[in-house]
Structure 1
Amino acid sequence: MSALPLTDPQTTRRDKRIVWGIVGLIAATVLIGTFGPARTKPPALAPAEDPACAEWGDGCKVCRRLESGFACSLPGIACTPGAMACLRGTGEP
């Protein structure tokens, strides 16, 4: 009885090409992610720094832009501040 080969040489070559193709795709993906341009948004202006925001607050205190600067209310005793947000733009009533 003759022993049959456990692997076919043609199948082995094809498998090696598939493995190297996968390795190449992974390497290309990592390189593109590392050296590609970063997609970042510019940082948003804080409401106090944004000239288009006339009034802003955090749920506890409200600040308003005046000709002489800006003025803010005092927060209540049991107030939990949230995120600072623009409440009224300069063109709004």
Structure 2
Amino acid sequence: MPITAPHVTRCPASAFGAALAFGVALVLPALADEPGVSPLPKPELTLQNFGRLNPDCLEWTNGCAVCRRLEPRQARANHPWSRRGLVKITCSTPGIACQPRELVCEAKRSR
């Protein structure tokens, strides 16, 4: 008896084309996104960074807590590593049930 090869089915061209189109549809959007092109997001305005973003504001609040910019003290002559020359900001502790409102500058630096 002659040996016959098992029946091999060939993938029709339409199935190959569909698989190729599906693969291209998955890959092209990923290649189109360029991560370095998108603009930097605007920093979220929080009670803590409001002072850095508004250097002329000396005191600000959100209705729950109050923050103040303290006057920088002079660095001590015999301690050059002293942090006294840095800008200092202090904030009060908000109440437990307080609902913060919009941040408002309460006192501005006079020029």
Shorter-chain TM-score range = 0.3 to 0.5
TM-score normalised by length of structure 2:
0.42
TM-score normalised by length of structure 1:
0.48
Structure having the larger proportion of residues in helix? 1
